[in-house]
Amino acid sequence: MGQRKLKVVVTRKLPEAVETRMRELFDATLNIDDQPMNAEAIIAAMRQADVLVPTVSDRIDARMLAQAGPDFRLIANFGAGVDNIDVRTAIERGITVTNTPGVLTEDTADMTMALILAVPRRVIDGVKVVEADQFVGWSPTWMLGRRIWGKRLGIIGMGRIGQAVARRAKAFGLQIHYHNRKPVSPVIEQGLEATYWDSLDQMLARMDIISVNCPHTPATYHLLSARRLALLKPHAYIVNTSRGEVIDEAALARMLDKGQIAGAGLDVFEHEPAINPKLKRLANVVLLPHMGSATMEGRIDMGEKVIVNIKTFADGHKPPDRVIPAML
């Protein structure tokens, strides 16, 4: 008789190819209707499953983990970030946590670059004019934005995504600056012609565009506080494709409304899926529905990583993308 298949519960609908493979390898319960599972539904899943495959929108805290069943041993997160999971409590309870790093780097960097272009060049404003049938012909002083070439870009978080953003931005003629916990290697720094700033405050005060590419951790919550946002030049733009909690969203909305910051491109929000109503009313803001990593290729790559992590765990080995507290 063959080995029992692990019972796996998937909290959201995944690409068909990923779901099919999961059904082949595991005793997988899929979310065909793609309806978000509430806390009680997730607790019920952890009581009867060996493995849970949540997404970044599923919050799993200590209270929920305390109610997991005796066979529950793995949280295979469908996402690179794990700020939605109380990782330390999970590990203390003997539950392994994995994620899907690396596969979304290029997709997220593409979207970051798109926002860096869209906000200063007023791309969305132009789309709205055409859609409203208000385009009456070219004029020398109409729809003026700001040039990208030659501007200073300050990247907060120079990991995989930050470096991918820097490579794209350098090709567009932007001068690369960055703040990180520590400098990147001299080879990377020289290749990007990047300037490292140990002081985030000093970098913010000198940049034309800021790109947020650091993860959300307790240390980065409101890293861009009202005080730090006030350091930005009035002509500066800010782009965030990381996590909404890194920015004090209320303070950002106030400053954008008052013209203290020129504009913003946001793909993530502090209280997702809720968006600050003030941001929605502002003409100098481009808002996207957390779609920075939303490519079919990226989602399939994520699913394949989840499957490898579960399969490796089932075979009695340490999953390749195991998350440990020191990494957070």
pLDDT digits (tens, 9 = 90+) for 197-249: 999 999 999 999 999 999 988 999 999 999 999 999 999 999 999 999 999 99
- Are 158 and 58 members of one domain? no
Task: Give a yes or no: residue 300 inside a domain.
Answer: yes
- Are 132 and 245 members of one domain? yes
Task: Give a yes or no: residue 191 inside a domain.
Answer: yes
Task: Give a yes or no: residue 65 inside a domain.
Answer: yes
CB contact at 8 A, 220 and 81: no
Please report, as a single letter, which amino acid is at residue 77: N
Task: Give a yes or no: residue 239 inside a domain.
Answer: yes
CB contact at 8 A, 77 and 101: no
pLDDT bucket at 81, cuts 50 / 70 / 90 = confident
Rounded distance, CA 85 to CA 102, Å? 19
- Are 28 and 148 members of one domain? no
- What are the distances in angstroms from CA 134 to CA 102, 138, 166, 264? 43, 12, 36, 24
- Are 149 and 63 members of one domain? no
Angle in degrees, CA 81, 159, 109, rounded to 5? 80
Mean pLDDT over the full length of the chain: 96
Share of the chain above pLDDT 70, in %: 98
So what's the pLDDT on residue 3? 74
Angle in degrees, CA 129, 295, 25, rounded to 5? 155
- Among 287, 304, 319, the domain-final residue is 287
Q: What is the DSSP letter of 30?
A: P
Task: Give a yes or no: residue 1 inside a domain.
Answer: no
- Are 56 and 117 members of one domain? no
* Closest CA relative to residue 176, chosen from 202, 150, 198, 201: 150
What is the torsion angle, in degrees rounded to the nearest 10, for the CA atoms of residue 268, residue 273, residue 274 and residue 277?
50
- Are 92 and 109 members of one domain? no
Rounded distance, CA 133 to CA 6, Å? 57
| pLDDT for residue 158 is more than 80 | yes
Beta bridge partners of 97: 75
| pLDDT for residue 1 is more than 80 | no
What integer is the mean pLDDT of 302-318? 97
So what's the pLDDT on residue 326? 65
Catalytic residue numbers, as ranges: 243, 272, 290
87-136: per-residue pLDDT in tens? Answer: 999 999 999 999 999 999 999 999 999 999 999 999 999 999 999 999 99
First to last CA, the chain: 41
* Closest CA relative to residue 204, chosen from 239, 236, 159, 248: 236
- Are 82 and 120 members of one domain? no
CA max distance for the chain? 78
- Are 184 and 44 members of one domain? no
- Are 251 and 320 members of one domain? no
Task: Give a yes or no: residue 2 inside a domain.
Answer: no
So what's the pLDDT on residue 2? 52
Instruction: For residue 248, give the 3-state DSSP assignment.
Output: coil
Rounded distance, CA 305 to CA 79, Å? 10
- What are the distances in angstroms from CA 224 to CA 26, 50, 108, 249, 267? 43, 39, 20, 9, 16
| pLDDT for residue 327 is more than 60 | no
Task: Give a yes or no: residue 269 inside a domain.
Answer: yes
What integer is the mean pLDDT of 272-288? 96
What integer is the mean pLDDT of 188-201? 98
- Are 227 and 319 members of one domain? no
- Are 41 and 157 members of one domain? no
Q: What is the CATH number of the domain that holds 68?
A: 3.40.50.720
- Among 287, 303, 318, the domain-final residue is 287
Task: Give a yes or no: residue 231 inside a domain.
Answer: yes
- Are 146 and 161 members of one domain? yes
In the sheet where 27-29 sits, what is the strand order? 27-29, 7-10, 51-53, 74-76, 96-98
**Domain tally, the chain:** 2
Domain that holds residue 205: 105-287
* Distance, C-alpha 10 to centroid of its chain: 20
Within 10 Å of residue 102's Cβ, how many Cβ atoms?
14
HSE-up (13 A, CA, CB side) for residue 223: 26
